[in-house]
Amino acid sequence: EVQLVESGGGLVQPGESLRLSCAASGFIFTDYWMTWVRQAPGKGLEWVANIKEDGTMKKYVDSVNGRFTISRDNAKNSLYLQMNSLRAEDTAVYYCARTYEYGYDYWGQGTLVTVSS
Amino acid sequence: DIVLTQSPDSLAVSLGERATINCKSSQSIIYSSNNKNNLGWYQQKPGQPPKLLIYWASTRESGVPDRFSGSGSGTDFTLTISSLQAEDVAVYYCQQCHSTPYTFGQGTKLEIK
């Protein structure tokens, strides 16, 4: 059974950092790109970043480029999102998703990040 | 960036009736490697992650009931639920995976009339 479990969310102050993790199981992790998608409270979905199977290619939405870093550890079947210089507008539930070229077939339950003073 | 505009923002349909949601793209999203439209549809119920319903604009994901169908090409796409069931109450999103950032539409909230 495919499982994606996010962790690492919490309450931080503006300007602080946070590292999200996504533990993958039930599939061959190295066969898939992976993606982070976020959803602000009561709002729609926003694509954040994705990473190639071997970690050599990464793409970001402009609003996080230079502040967030997506990475993966294929030995640990884990995906990460290092978030620096956090802003109030980064407050959201962050989902990791298994990625095909046409979309995302499995999603985690999400982890909530709240940026507030 | 490619902008996806969904219409309507909300929709109320009677049980057993047809529901239609539209998604218009600001540019063509034909995927060069296979000449298919790289548009997907997701369903999100409260407190749950999104669920992939349709990809390549018209291919139903495994396990998705056949009352859900997708159509369209170029810049105009449609999600149709042929006979609305109570469990279909949700927010529906379209998404393009043609070019990054892989944008989503703003969502359409579907309710029972």
* Contact criterion met (CB below 8 Å) for B7 and B26: no
**CA A41 – CA A93 distance, rounded (Å):** 7
Determine the pLDDT at residue A73. Answer: 98
Q: Chains A, B: CB contacts under 8 A, how many?
A: 61
- How much is the average pLDDT of A34-53? 98
Is the pLDDT assigned to residue B34 strictly greater than 90? no
pLDDT confidence tier of residue B3, bands split at 50, 70 and 90: very high
Using alpha carbons, list the distances in angstroms from residue B23 to A64, A109, B12, B103: 26, 26, 17, 12
The pLDDT assigned to A70 comes to 98
pLDDT in the model for residue A9: 98
pLDDT surpassing 90 at residue A96:
yes
Find the farthest-apart pair of alpha carbons in chain A and give their distance in angstroms, rounded.
Answer: 41
Task: Choose the mutation target among A1, A62, A98, A102 for the interface with B, i.e. most B CBs under 10 Å.
Answer: A102
A 42-101: CB under 8 A from B: 44-47, 50, 59-62, 95, 97, 100-101
Q: How far apart are CA A90 and CA A69, in angstroms?
A: 14
Answer yes or no: do A107 and B93 touch at CB < 8 A.
no
Q: Phi-psi category of B53—alpha, beta or left, where left has phi over 0 and alpha has psi -120 to 50?
A: alpha
Q: Do A47 and B101 touch (CB under 8 A)?
A: yes
Q: How far apart are CA A39 and CA A61, in angstroms?
A: 14
pLDDT at position B110 is 98
Nearest-CA distance from A94 to chain B in Å? 10
Looking at beta carbons, which residues of chain A come within 8 Å of B42?
A: 45, 103
- Is the pLDDT at A4 greater than 90? The verdict is yes
Nearest alpha carbon to residue A95 among A109, A79, A83: A109
Query: What are the chain B neighbours of A103 within 8 Å (beta carbons)?
Result: 40, 42, 52, 55, 95, 97
Q: What is the pLDDT of residue A64?
A: 98
Whether the predicted pLDDT of B92 surpasses 90: yes
Q: How many CB atoms lie within 10 A of CB A22?
A: 25
Cβ of A103 and B93 within 8 Å?
no
**A7 DSSP β-pair partners:** A21
Q: Examine the pLDDT at B32 and tell me if it is beyond 90.
A: no
